[in-house]
Amino acid sequence: VPEDSLDIPKIPIIPMSYGNARRFLEPMTGPAVPQSWQGGLPFHYHVGPGPARSRMKVKTERGARAFHKIWNTVGMIRGSRWPDEWVVVGGHRDAWGPGARDNVSGTVSVLETARAFAALARDGQKPARTVVFATWDAEEWGLIGSTEWVEELEDTLRAHVVAYINEDGTFSGPSFGGGGSPSLKPLFRAATRVVPDPVGPGTVYDVWLKAHNGDTTALTMGNLGGGSDFSGFYHHLGIPSGGIGFDGPDGIYHSMYDSYDWMTRFGDPAYKAHRAGAQLVAVILGRLANSDLLPLDYAAFGTELNGLVAQLDSGIAKKQWKSSVTTQALKDALDRFTAVARAFNAARDSALARAGGVDSARAQRVNQALMLVERRLTRPEGLVSRPWFKSLQFAADLDNGYATMAFPSVNEAIRYADAATANKELVDLVNRVDQARAALVEAAVALR
Ligand SMILES: [Zn+2]
C-alpha cells in the first residue's frame, strides 16, 4: 500500500490541558469559528492569527525510541456445530493516559464475556460457532494492532468471520448508544430488550425509549466512520461490524483525567454501566454464535441505505449536476435488494419457527450465502482516494477521520471529481448492489 494512501497524520498533534489551551485560544482575533468547532471553554472561539505567541517544549519518544513491540491477545472457543464460522469481539488495550474509559472499559467487557463463555463451555454449553476474543495493541497510534492482524489473516477472516463486535471506550455513563452496519442494528436493538438498564427502571430498551419520549423511530444508531478497530474488518474486508456502549457527559477524552478515580466518582460509579454493557455484548455474541440462521437483517440494511441516497442527491444538487447525474438506478437497485431481503427474512422466520429448526448442513449453506452480502459491496481496487478502503457502503470521511460517509465511491466522485466519474461510480455501485442481492437469492434458495 503506498504511504500516501494511509491515514498517517501530516501535522503533529498533542493533547493539552484546558488551562494551556485557553492561553492559545482566547486571545485569537481572526474570524469566528463554525458552530461545530466551538468547544467547552467559556468564551467565543476564533481562528488565528494571534496575537498569542508561545514557546512550546514537547518531549516525544518518537525519534529516540521509534520502534516498539506491540502485542495483540487472542483467545478462541471452538464452535460445536459450525467451527468454521467465527464471531470476533475485540477492544484495544493501549491508551493515551490511564485510559479507564478509553479503553479499559471496553477491554473488560471483552474479558468478561470471555469469562462467561468459558464458564458455559466448561458446563458443556459450547457456542455453536467459534468465538474469538481479542484485545488489540497500538490502536491510538493508528489502529495498528488490529490492522496488522486483519491484514495478516485476511484470507482466513474473509472466509470465516460472520461479524466483528468492537468495544471501544464505551462504558462511562447512563445513556445507551450503538453503531454499526445497518445489518446488525436490529440485533443490537433486540439485545437491549433483555438486559436490565444500569439505572432503570426496566430494560435498557425501556430507558432508551423513554429518553426519546416513546418515539421508536428516534431509536437510531450511527454508522461506522473511522477511528477504531472495526476499520480493518468493516472497511477493508466488508465484514458486518459494530458495537454498543453507555455514554454520559465527560470531557476526559484522551487526557490524564480518564482515570480510575474519574470513572469511580463520575463516569460509572458502582460500575453498573460496565456490567450492563458486558451483558449486552454477551447477548449479542451469544445470538451471533448460536442462532441457526445468522441474525443479520438485510431488509433493515437495504432500507437504511436507500434513505442515505438523499445525501448523494444533495451533493449532486449542490454541484448543479441534476441534468447529467441521477441516483435513480441506485434507488431501484436498493429497492430490489430490500424486496428480496424482506422475502428472505419471512422465509427465515418461518423456517426457524418450524419444529426441529433448520438442520446443520442446510443452515451452513444459507449462512455461507448471507456472509457474502456485504463482502460483495467491496471492490478489490478500493476507493479512488484510498485503495485500502474496499467497502463501498461506508467509509471514514476523507476530511474528518471520525465521521462517516455513505456510498464513499460515489460521494467522493461528486465531491472531488466530475459528473462523468460520478456516473461511472454509480454504475459500478449498482452492479455490486445487484451482486449482493444475488447472494441473498442464493441464501433463499438454500433455505428452501
Ligand atoms: Zn479508544
Q: What residues does each domain of the chain span?
A: 14-67, 73-290, 298-447
298-320 pLDDT, tens digit each: 999 999 999 999 999 999 999 99
The Å distance, Cα 165 to ligand 1 centre, comes to 14
152-169 pLDDT, tens digit each: 999 999 999 999 999 997
Class of domain 298-447: mainly alpha
Strands (DSSP E) along 16-124, which ranges?
A: 73-77, 82-92
Determine the 3-state secondary structure of 162 from DSSP: strand
At 301, give phi and psi (nearest 5°).
Answer: -60, -50
CATH superfamily of 73-290: Zn peptidases (3.40.630.10)
d(CA 284, CA 248): 22
The Å distance, Cα 266 to ligand 1 centre, comes to 19
d(CA 105, CA 111): 10
Which amino acid would we find at residue 244? I
Question: Would you state the pLDDT for residue 281?
Answer: 97
Question: Would you state the pLDDT for residue 8?
Answer: 65
The Å distance, Cα 440 to ligand 1 centre, comes to 34
d(CA 46, CA 125): 60
Cell of 443: 441464501
Determine the 3-state secondary structure of 244 from DSSP: strand
Find the DSSP H helices in 123-271: 144-152, 154-160, 185-192, 204-211, 230-231, 260-262
d(CA 204, CA 375): 32
The Å distance, Cα 213 to ligand 1 centre, comes to 31
The Å distance, Cα 18 to ligand 1 centre, comes to 21
Strands (DSSP E) along 184-248, which ranges?
A: 241-247
The Å distance, Cα 93 to ligand 1 centre, comes to 9
Question: Would you state the pLDDT for residue 1?
Answer: 61
Mean pLDDT per 10-residue run, the chain (448 residues)? 65 79 90 90 89 79 74 97 97 95 96 98 97 96 95 97 93 93 98 96 97 94 90 97 92 89 95 96 98 97 97 95 95 98 96 88 96 98 93 88 88 95 98 98 95
User: How many CB atoms are located within 10 Å of the residue 395 CB?
Assistant: 29
The Å distance, Cα 139 to ligand 1 centre, comes to 7
Cα-Cα end-to-end distance for the chain:
43
The Å distance, Cα 171 to ligand 1 centre, comes to 11
The Å distance, Cα 89 to ligand 1 centre, comes to 15
The Å distance, Cα 140 to ligand 1 centre, comes to 7
The Å distance, Cα 168 to ligand 1 centre, comes to 5
